[in-house]
Amino acid sequence: MATKTEKAAPKAAKTTKAASESAPAKTAKATAKPAAAKPNALQQPLKPSAELGAIVGTSPLPRGEVVSKVWEYIKKHNLQNPENKREIVADDKLKKVFGKDKCSMFEMNKHLAAHLKS
C-alpha cells in the first residue's frame, strides 16, 4: 500500500508540469505588447504631393486616411462610372494624380503611392 507522500508526489509533478507549460505563454504575450505599440507602415504619416494635397489637404496623413479622403472626394463629385462602379472617371484634380482620364479602383492605390512621401 502506498504512503501519503507517494500519492502526493505524482500530483505535485503534474502541477509543476502544468505551471511550466503556462509560463511560456505568459512570456510570449508580454513580448508581443511592445511590437503592437510600434506603428506599422499603414499608420505612418506621409506627406502628400501638391497635386494630391488639393484633394486631401497638405498635412501629413496615414495612407488609410488618404485613401478614405480620396474616396470621399470621388463620391462627393460623383466620379464613379455608373455602369462599372470599379472604374473612376477622373476630373481635373484627379487627372493630375492618376495621369489619365480613367482608373480602376485597384490601380488607384498605385497612383496614390507615387504622390506620398515619408
Domain ranges in the chain? Answer: 42-117
Confidence at residue 76, expressed as pLDDT on a 0 to 100 scale: 95
DSSP class per residue in 4-66 = HHHHHHHHHHHHHHHHHHHHHHHHHHHHHHHHHHS--GGGSEEEEPHHHHHHH-SS-EEHHHH
pLDDT band at 4 (very low <50, low <70, confident <90, very high): low
Confidence at residue 49, expressed as pLDDT on a 0 to 100 scale: 92
Q: What is the pLDDT of residues 89-118, one digit of tens each?
A: 999 999 999 999 999 999 999 999 999 988
Q: What is the mean pLDDT of the chain?
A: 79
Phi, psi of 12 (to 5 degrees): -65, -40
Distance CA 59, CA 39 (A): 18
pLDDT above 80: residue 54: yes
pLDDT above 60: residue 11: no
pLDDT band at 43 (very low <50, low <70, confident <90, very high): confident
Look up the CATH architecture of domain 42-117.
Answer: Orthogonal Bundle (1.10)
Distance CA 51, CA 117 (A): 13
Phi, psi of 62 (to 5 degrees): -65, 155
As a whole number of Å, the end-to-end CA separation of the chain is 76
